[in-house]
Chain A
Amino acid sequence: DAMVIQNPRYQVTQFGKPVTLSCSQTLNHNVMYWYQQKSSQAPKLLFHYYDKDFNNEADTPDNFQSRRPNTSFCFLDIRSPGLGDAAMYLCATKAGVSSYNEQFFGPGTRLTVL
């Protein structure tokens, strides 16, 4: 089935040690998003891509970077994770700009920072 895949599902890193989370999609969607979610709060948008056009949220820390080498893959890089970066990271996709295109989420990656 076409879907949004996130690897790994669980990631443990050390304070200050760079970590990369990955997302892939078989939906061929133009838009990909990265969200951070803490403690059953609502997902918080970090950035999104329309094709290769990158859009950073104003309050996303510089510590967070993203890459989208092709339509199918998108990566979240955390350059120097702090304890406060421990969270669920959700990748999502959307076909395009139309309001009739829905947003679909992956299963998430739970990041633990020691």
Chain B
Amino acid sequence: GQQLNQSPQSMFIQEGEDVSMNCTSSSIFNTWLWYKQDPGEGPVLLIALYKAGELTSNGRLTAQFGITRKDSFLNISASIPSDVGIYFCAGQLASGTYKYIFGTGTRLKVLA
């Protein structure tokens, strides 16, 4: 199936550092969702974005809907050990289906 390009694939960072990850595509999206998934659990919705250029925060997390509607970015500031997990972006195509295209995931590991 179709997937979004998500980078980086994985990253090790020190506690307290800021983290950035992004998803890019050749397709135009109506909605971007960012999820975090812990081992053995389902993805948990972090941030939802609905408009090109939109910048939304949720605590230490900030996400942006790219102006071209083909990309999105997630930033985590001052990372802590519990930020460990896999982060997925998911985009809903502008064609208006109920389906989401998922990114390949970014595995984050935080070193205390």
Question: A: which residues have CB within 8 A of B?
Answer: 4, 6, 31, 33, 40-45, 48, 50, 55, 57, 59, 88, 90, 92, 94, 97, 99-100, 102-108, 110
Contact = CB atoms under 8 A, between A and B. Distances in A.
B105 A103 contact: no
A43 B102 contact: yes
Nearest to B104: A42
Given A31-B98, A110-B40, A105 B35 contact: yes
Interface of B: 1, 3, 30-31, 33, 35, 40-45, 48, 50, 86, 88, 90, 92, 96, 98-100, 102-105, 107
Contact of A41 (B31, B50, B99, B105): B105
A97 B96 contact: yes
Contact of B42 (A41, A48, A55, A106): A106
